[in-house]
Amino acid sequence: MAAGGAFGGNRGLQPVPPEKGVFPLDHLHECRPIMQSYMRCLKENKYNSESCRHFSKKYLECRMERNLMNKQDLSELGFVAEDD
């Protein structure tokens, strides 16, 4: 029988935090309209995310403006000036 924790978990191993850390959920739904537009765009474009990058960018900007994630240059997140 293998040694392990409850439900197959390993005991004694330290969890590894996410690379960028965690950020608060949008409990007040301040950025929800942009997220819904993004999801609608994905559905209309057969889930081709490249067609909806402008919504993705707006959503990240919304989260940064409301301190729901750390502010950082969008170029660090894969966006370029041409995405405007």
What pLDDT shows up at residue 70?
A: 87
* pTM beyond 0.85, yes or no: no
Q: Sketch the domain layout of the chain as residue ranges.
A: 24-83
Are the C-beta atoms of residues 68 and 81 closer than 8 Å to each other?
Answer: no
Q: What is the pLDDT of residues 61-81, one digit of tens each?
A: 999 999 988 899 999 988 887
Mean pLDDT of all residues in 49-71: 93
